[in-house]
């Protein structure tokens, strides 16, 4: 069976659509073009175990997978997926690599992917810490702004003393968390600069 090549974008979209479903529906099984499905799975970097899941789903409605045609399509898709220039975008977009490329390219593909994925992960860490610090600083501002009101609501000197102590304790706690988060953020930014330099050296 001749399998018509499909564009990289079309295959990716198709692969993402299929991956969005936990199983293949009976309708999908009955109208399945196994060559095109294999090509989409290949271009999406899926392992052959994905075929087992599809076969199990379709067997429930009496549909058999055309394994040779699927594998032929998958191999065609992997030719597009397993290009060294695809490794960096895959990593920078937070993708995963399941070691599906042939031995002659696997080591190089995996290295480039891991360098790029490290940049993605560190950027995510930096964004997360930035958000944590913003949240802590907002809580500290809210504490300052509500301090006068809380003191006025206290009915006696003893209550005001307790409120003051509670506010001071909370303020110290928040400032300590901000300081710790800021230190972690500086370390992550240093790691990110190193990772981005390593990524630049790949190009």
pLDDT above 90 as % of the chain: 77
* Token output for 180: 């710790």
- Match 């099984």 to its residue by tokens: 29
Measure the CA–CA gap between 145 and 164, rounded to whole angstroms. Answer: 14
Helix H or strand E encompassing 12: helix 8-19
Q: Is the dihedral of CA 47, 53, 55, 58 positive or negative?
A: negative
Measure the CA–CA gap between 124 and 10, rounded to whole angstroms. Answer: 28
pLDDT above 70 as % of the chain: 88
Residue 49 has pLDDT above 70, yes or no: yes
Measure the CA–CA gap between 123 and 129, rounded to whole angstroms. Answer: 10
Measure the CA–CA gap between 7 and 87, rounded to whole angstroms. Answer: 18
- In this prediction, residue 107 carries a pLDDT of 96
> For 125, how many CA atoms within 13 A lie in the half-sphere containing its CB?
20
Least confident segment among 53-57, 158-162, 187-191:
158-162
- In this prediction, residue 16 carries a pLDDT of 38
Q: 50: which residues sit within 8 A by CB, 6+ positions away?
A: 41
- In this prediction, residue 2 carries a pLDDT of 38
Residue 22 has pLDDT above 70, yes or no: no
Top pLDDT among 153 and 18 is at 153
Single pTM value for the model? 0.77
Measure the CA–CA gap between 181 and 185, rounded to whole angstroms. Answer: 6
Secondary structure in 3-state letters for 125-173 = HHHHHHHHHHHHHHHHHHHHHHHHHHHHHCCCHHHHHHHHHHHHHHHHH
- In this prediction, residue 171 carries a pLDDT of 94
- In this prediction, residue 203 carries a pLDDT of 63
pLDDT band, residue 21 (cuts 50/70/90): very low
Burial class (CB in 10 A: 0-12, 13-18, 19+), 76: buried
Q: Where are the domains of the chain?
A: 1-81, 111-200
How crowded is residue 178: how many other Cβ atoms within 10 Å of its Cβ?
A: 17
* Token output for 103: 């031995």
Q: pLDDT tens-digit profile of 84-123?
A: 999 999 999 999 999 999 999 999 999 999 999 999 999 9
């Amino acid at each position: 069976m001749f399998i018509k090549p499909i564009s990289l974008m079309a295959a990716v979209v198709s692969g993402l659509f299929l991956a969005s479903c936990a199983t293949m529906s009976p309708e999908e099984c009955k109208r399945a073009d196994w060559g095109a499905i294999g090509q989409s799975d290949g271009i999406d970097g899926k392992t052959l175990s994905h075929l087992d899941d599809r076969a199990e789903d379709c067997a429930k409605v009496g549909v058999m997978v055309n394994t040779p045609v699927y594998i032929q399509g998958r191999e065609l898709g992997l030719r597009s997926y397993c290009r060294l220039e695809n490794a960096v975008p895959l990593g920078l977009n937070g993708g995963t690599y399941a070691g599906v490329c042939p031995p002659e390219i696997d080591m190089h593909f995996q290295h480039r992917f891991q360098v790029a994925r490290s940049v993605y992960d560190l950027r995510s860490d930096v964004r997360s810490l930035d958000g944590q610090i913003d949240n802590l600083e907002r809580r500290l501002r809210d504490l300052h702004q509500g301090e006068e009101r809380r003191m006025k609501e206290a009915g006696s000197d003893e209550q005001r003393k307790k409120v003051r102590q509670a506010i001071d304790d909370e303020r110290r706690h928040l400032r300590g968390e901000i300081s710790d988060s800021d230190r972690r953020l500086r370390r992550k930014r240093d790691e990110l600069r190193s990772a981005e330099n390593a990524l630049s050296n790949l190009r």
